[in-house]
Amino acid sequence: MIFKVFAIYFYDIIIYMMKINQNIFRSYDIRGVYPSELNEDAAYEIAKAFCFLHPYAQKIVLARDSRLSSPYLADSMIKAFLEEGKEVMNLGIAPDPLFYFSIMHYGFGGGIMISGSHNPKEYNGLTINVRKPQSRQPQDLIGKDLSAIKDIVLRGGEKDRNGIHRGKVLDFDPAQAYVDYVTGKVQLERPLKIILDSGNGACGYLPEKVFKALGCEVETLFADFDGTFPNHLPDPYVAENRKAIEEAVLAKKADLGFMYDSDGDRVAIIDNRGRAVDGDLSLLILASQALEKKTGPVVHCMRASKAFIDEMEKKGAKTYFSISHHNAVIDKILETGAVFGGEITFHFLFPLDYYLCDDAVFASLEFAQAASKHNDFASYVDSLPRYFASPEIFIESKDEEKFKIIQNLQEYLRENNYNFIDIDGARINFEHGWALARASNTTPIIKCRFEGDTEENLKAIEKEALEIFQKAGLPITEQVCQQLGLASS
């Protein structure tokens, strides 16, 4: 009889785990295709687990991007929060800048942002944040506990729940308070003419309001919310998505352009010649500006150029590698006391000036402040040091396999005495450059990048690195070689 009871219990758990796809739980957030991977059932259980782990968090901020699936996930989470007696501070469609500002500025208990970020429109995701109890310091306001939430959800949820009192939903709009706050943090040396591209995502007209408050002349492309993303995918890191704003900056003779992703945590800058400033140079511009205010450490991702690292050292700043995710960068900033942190994928953090969150609208203000010091911003960009880098190469790999493949690569490099950094993937150091392979946190791919101090050394590093990757078990296809202009081995 006892065996039968346990058999039924474990059968129920297995069935439940099949219902909730465990692959939606990434290293730092939740991401999956709607509804096959991330759906209303999962959203409901995740909200329940959040409440169980953080009973002290009474006021919960809920925001969503413009994706078609976001309202359905929001409704499920609101249902769970109301059953647990929570007050839902409902922002509706709102970007990360307003989401994070609401938690940090007003001291609410925590929140969940519903967004697939830069992923294609069939994806959606959840970013979970919680304010640490009794904390009064801005850098202590956000905590992460995804592993605990995952454990609760996959074992069928907690049965002992607070379903006695019903909560309430409050419509909350912090936009004007946000505009007033962030515009008080920067000073432009001259008014600028700016083109913005919200990509039909959650930023909408918010960046325009911010820049107009600073006296800038502003025009916004694709500001209306539309989860089908009819004009381009909401990923500013991909060159083809930036064509419209690059053309508009040139046509309008603007000083700058800014393009945001769907939830407003990443921004690409377009110079006055209609060219996107790449991630390494963006890091260099912003880090250099931070160092003008205070000398201190700088945190960067594994893909950052050696030219950036060398320039930071010339300016007296110690540099630190970080895992490629804004939460990891935040942790490293706190650990090192850094004055700036960022990733080449257009995530930026400003501990000297703002709350520790990757707010793309605030980042564009920092860019504008730097650009306002130059009559010809493009000439300044051209003067910055740079090495020769490949485009980022994507190797398809299943979510359940990609991290094991990278682990095998690290073991191979250790066994063969290669000089490499293993903080996030494997960055192999060569005499004249480096090569990196790392598993994506959000999609089923392995990302590779290569850099050399000359074009000839870059090609040599690409060839040598691919041979190493192949020996270590990475699936190097003919297509990968063709992307780099190399013959397949």
3-class SS string, 253-297: CCCEEEEECCCCCCEEEECCCCCECCHHHHHHHHHHHHHHHCCCC
Max CA pair span of the chain: 82
Q: Running DSSP on this structure, what letter comes out for residue 375? A: S
Residue 233 pLDDT class (50, 70, 90 cuts): very high
Residue 15 pLDDT class (50, 70, 90 cuts): very low
- pLDDT over threshold 80, residue 144: no
Give pLDDT, residue 132. 73
For residue 35, cis peptide bond before it (omega within 30 degrees of 0): yes
For domain 2-173, which CATH number applies: 3.60.20.40, 3.40.50.1480, 3.40.710.10, 3.40.120.10? 3.40.120.10
Summarize pLDDT for 437-488 with one digit per residue, the tens. Answer: 999 987 889 999 999 999 999 999 999 999 999 999 999 988 888 888 886 6
Give pLDDT, residue 27. 80
What is the mean predicted confidence (pLDDT) over 120-130?
Answer: 94
Query: How far from chain centre, in Å, is Cα 332?
Result: 15
249 phi/psi in degrees, rounded to 5: -60, -45
The rounded distance, in Å, linking the Cα atoms of 243 and 16 is 45
Q: Checking DSSP bridges between strand 347-349 and strand 340-343, what pairing results, if any?
A: antiparallel
Neighbouring residues of 39: CB distance < 8 A, sequence distance ≥ 6: 73
The rounded distance, in Å, linking the Cα atoms of 170 and 88 is 6
For domain 177-382, which CATH number applies: 3.40.50.300, 3.40.640.10, 3.40.120.10, 3.30.70.270? 3.40.120.10
For residue 148, give both structure tokens: 């605990």
Q: Is 266 exposed, middle or buried (0-12, 13-18, 19+ CB in 10 A)?
A: buried
Q: Which CATH class is domain 388-483?
A: alpha beta
The rounded distance, in Å, linking the Cα atoms of 255 and 375 is 9
What is the mean predicted confidence (pLDDT) over 21-47?
Answer: 94
Whether the Cβ atoms of residue 180 and residue 203 lie closer than 8 Å to each other: no
Give pLDDT, residue 477. 87
Within 10 angstroms of residue 291's Cβ, the number of other Cβ atoms is 18
- pLDDT over threshold 90, residue 88: yes
Q: Checking DSSP bridges between strand 87-93 and strand 59-64, what pairing results, if any?
A: parallel
Give pLDDT, residue 30. 94
Give pLDDT, residue 487. 66
Whether the Cβ atoms of residue 77 and residue 169 lie closer than 8 Å to each other: no
- The residues spanned by each domain of the chain are 2-173, 177-382, 388-483
The rounded distance, in Å, linking the Cα atoms of 408 and 412 is 6
Residue 18, CA distances (Å) to 36, 180, 218, 464 in order:
11, 47, 49, 42
Segment among 130-144, 243-257, 410-424 with least mean pLDDT: 130-144
- pLDDT over threshold 60, residue 3: no
Comparing 2-173 with 177-382, is the CATH topology the same? Answer: yes
344 phi/psi in degrees, rounded to 5: -70, -10
467 phi/psi in degrees, rounded to 5: -65, -40
Secondary structure (3-state) at 477: coil
Which residue is listed with tokens 């979970």? Answer: 128
What is the mean predicted confidence (pLDDT) over 341-348?
Answer: 97
The rounded distance, in Å, linking the Cα atoms of 456 and 4 is 68
Helices (H), 123-253: 146-154, 175-183, 206-213, 243-252
Q: What is the CA radius of gyration of the chain?
A: 23
Residue type, 2: I
404 phi/psi in degrees, rounded to 5: -65, -40
Q: Residue 134 region, left (φ>0) first, then alpha (ψ -120 to 50), else beta?
A: left
Angle between helices 175-183 and 96-106 (to 10 degrees): 80
Share of the chain above pLDDT 90, in %: 82
127 phi/psi in degrees, rounded to 5: -110, 125
Within 10 angstroms of residue 306's Cβ, the number of other Cβ atoms is 18
CA neighbor of 198 nearest in space, from 238, 239, 236: 236
Give pLDDT, residue 156. 83
What is the mean predicted confidence (pLDDT) over 155-175?
Answer: 79
| Catalytic residue from among 117, 262, 324, 364 | 117
- pLDDT over threshold 60, residue 303: yes
Residue 135 pLDDT class (50, 70, 90 cuts): low
Residue 117: active-site member: yes
Give pLDDT, residue 13. 38
Q: Checking DSSP bridges between strand 168-171 and strand 87-93, what pairing results, if any?
A: parallel
Within 10 angstroms of residue 2's Cβ, the number of other Cβ atoms is 6
Segment among 128-142, 247-261, 321-335, 392-406 with least mean pLDDT: 128-142
